[in-house]
Amino acid sequence: MRREVTLEEISDGKRYGLNDMVRAACNDCAGCSSCCEDMGESIILDPLDIYELTKNLNTTFENLLKEQIELHVADGMILPNLKMTDKDVCPFLQEKRCSIHSFRPGICRVFPLGRIYEENRLDYFLQVEGCVKENRSKVKVCKWLDTPELKKNQQYLIDWHAFRKKIECILGEMSDENQKKTITMFLLNTFYINPYDTEQDFYPQFYARLDRIAQVIA
């Protein structure tokens, strides 16, 4: 979700690359769980997040919609996000610990960092009002992200972000609301509802879908 703020307003003013050191390490959280509470609709899930959740929980997108996730419109697209419980905490928080930590969503994985997209580049910033833990230690960004196939993942994030921006522009130029709805539902089905083969690598499947969409909207 795009933020209409300056970097200086929400960060320490610095940009961090994968090999930079950043003061983000919080001693394995020590069961604080502050970042798992009162998050509203902010934990937006990308296609890889859904792939990991359905694979590791042995479930489907439709089943996740029953309790753990919900849909809302963000930047023109219908996207899923983690659905907070009645107590306004993450549905995967159990006894103050994340029950899906090894396959947690990307937004959770980078916190308290945030992402900065520019052209074909992805950098990170440290959110000054993010983690409540004091005296955090320095850690290399790539280690903090703890993401398999990191270089491939970074390019995927860049491509997904660029695609979302393109869709936002296309929808913004349309006046027919029914046509907009048809397109957004088509995208939701293509990238989220239509199941991925969890026995196969995610990235080739994602790019195959992206290529099909590109041919339709070209």
At residue 151, what is the residue type? Answer: K
Per-residue pLDDT at 37:
79
Q: What pLDDT does 8 receive?
A: 67
Q: Which of 75, 49, 1 has the alpha carbon at shortest distance from 147?
A: 49
**Alpha-carbon distances, residue 148 vs 111, 124, 145, 201, 202 (angstroms):** 17, 18, 9, 12, 12
Per-residue pLDDT of the chain (218 residues; tens, 9 = 90+): 555 666 766 677 889 999 999 988 776 666 667 777 788 888 999 999 999 999 999 999 999 999 999 999 988 899 999 999 988 889 998 888 889 989 999 999 998 899 999 888 999 999 877 666 677 789 999 999 999 999 999 999 999 999 999 999 999 999 999 999 999 999 999 999 999 999 999 999 999 999 999 888 76
Coil, helix or strand at residue 168: helix
pLDDT at residue number 214: 86
Residues 6+ apart with CB under 8 A from 56: 100, 102, 103
Cβ neighbours around 68 below 10 Å, total: 19
Is beta strand 77-82 parallel, antiparallel or unpaired with respect to 69-74? antiparallel
The CA distance from 3 to 13, in Å, is 15
Kindly report the pTM of this predicted structure. Answer: 0.91
**What's the pLDDT score for residue 97?**
86
pLDDT value at residue 40: 80
